[in-house]
Chains A and B, each alone.
Chain A
Amino acid sequence: MDVLARYEPLVDDYEAFRAACERPLPSVVRVNDIKATPERVRRAFDEAGTEYERVDWHDGLLRVESQPGNSWPYVHGWVYGQEEVSAVPAEVLAPEPGERVFDPCAAPGSKTTQLAALMNDRGLLVANDNNLGRLSALRSNAERCGVTSVVVTNSDARNFSLKPFVGEEGHQPPLFDRALVDVPCSCEGTIRKNPTALEQWDYSHVQGIAGVQKGILTRAVEATRPGGTVVYSTCTFAPEENEAVLDHVLESDRVRCELVEFDLPLDAAPGVTEWEDETYDQSVERAKRIYPHLNDTGGFFCAKLEVTA
């Protein structure tokens, strides 16, 4: 089945989109600012003769020949292998040092460690995942990166409990200032990194996972204080998993939030308001669709929400 063909009506330059999806992606590492500066990592790469290329929109991203797992900068936790476009949502969330931040689908930890670095490793970063095996990868990645601000929990993010964070005197549950909701998805946008990504694609899976995504986003908005920020991201092009999930949360009786405009240092297309027989709230246009051909990256979807009450 030609999965990507279903997006032809959405993509401006469809030929370029298909061509980009065929090209493999370069390996990229992100500098972990908790332990090193971009300048020092570049110097260590120079000393070791490791070739790299700087990514123009982000000082801490370097394109490398291969993942340098067997190198001093990796051993020191100075770098983390992370696809360029997956560094976007944490930058959009922009957490501040000392804040309370929620990462409901955290493993294996590329975005978690990036959030911790943006927070200068100060404050409370709750990293949750429902899969115990993936949590152990998250923990070892966070420790290699020297993250001390993280609290790791193991639960279904749809029913995430704030109870561990409430004192025994029964205070009000302390809500989060920000949440990064980077949900499990059908992963079409990773096709350049993982050419078999679409082999398991199945429409019933898209429908099933969209239900999970709605539950996770709703709970994350609920756990964030009024005035707080929630970023929703996926690596799929499917409107069922993107705009439809946002539309669901905007309509929900359980939570109140709105989509807000934001700038990106990468080219992107707006969210779509019509797909097949569905129409979505007009404000989903404020979300960004990053197609592989626009910046020569993987595919991504990102939306920024403000909790209103």
Chain B
Amino acid sequence: MADESANDPHRFERLPATEADREVEGRATRAEVLAFWSENYGVDPDVFDCHTFWEKGAGKVWVFADDLPSPVDVEAVGMTFLRTRQEHWKPTTDAVQRFGRHAEENVLVLDREEAERFLDGETQDLPRWDGDWGYVVVAHEIADDVEPIGVGLYLRGELRSQIPKGRQRNL
């Protein structure tokens, strides 16, 4: 008999609304996901009103614009959104590019040269940042507005680019 409390890596399961609804140990809840974006980046939970959250494999959370019966056996449900099974949760590049414009905190705006280094995957000294340490939304100004580029890890005066290898570019 299948172990109901284990995470099945081959299918997508909707995140439980709250801890009281949780059946799979260690699985994030919708309430925790909304709190993560709100507390760390100031993203209003209303932004995700129409979205559902799904897990495939331990700790890989996806965001989907509609709803489906859970579980569902398909290749992808919406897009990758968040990694939750380490101590520090980590948003994906896609999530930050799509929802980062709603962030009001921990948004690190780079100048042109810094942004190009970040996109190229480089680690750079950036002592001027006075926000939190940890995963930050990294952005730059383009066409008269601030646009998120991806996720950076800020520690001890240093910004480490988290842009995946295949998305890095030397402009």
Contacts and interface: CB of A to CB of B under 8 A. Distances in A.
Interface string B139-171: 000111101010000000000000000110111
Contacts of B166: 140
B149 to A, nearest CB: 7
Contact of B50 (A34, A75, A122): A122
A77 B170 CA distance: 16
20 contacts: A35-B97, A40-B144, A44-B142, A70-B171, A75-B169, A76-B97, A122-B50, A123-B65, A123-B66, A139-B75, A140-B166, A143-B80, A144-B94, A144-B167, A146-B97, A150-B78, A151-B68, A151-B76, A153-B74, A165-B72
B130 to A, nearest CB: 26
Interface hub of A35, A72, A144, A168 (most chain B Cβ within 10 A):
A72
Interface in B75-103: 75-80, 94, 97-98
B110 interface: no
Contacts of B78: 147-151
B144 A150 contact: no
Given A124-B66, A143-B94, A150 B76 contact: yes
A164 B75 contact: no
Contacts of B77: 151
B65 A75 contact: no
B73 interface: yes
Interface residues of B, number: 32
Q: Report the contact-size class of chain A (Cβ under 8 Å from the partner).
A: 35 or more
A146 B4 CA distance: 33
Interface of B: 50-51, 63-66, 68-69, 72-80, 94, 97-98, 119, 142-145, 147, 149, 166-167, 169-171
A264 interface: no
Given A135-B75, A167-B69, A151 B144 contact: no
Contacts of B74: 151-153, 164
Contacts of B97: 35, 76-77, 144, 146
Contacts of B75: 135, 139, 152-154
Contacts of B144: 40, 43
Nearest to B101: A35
Contacts of B80: 143
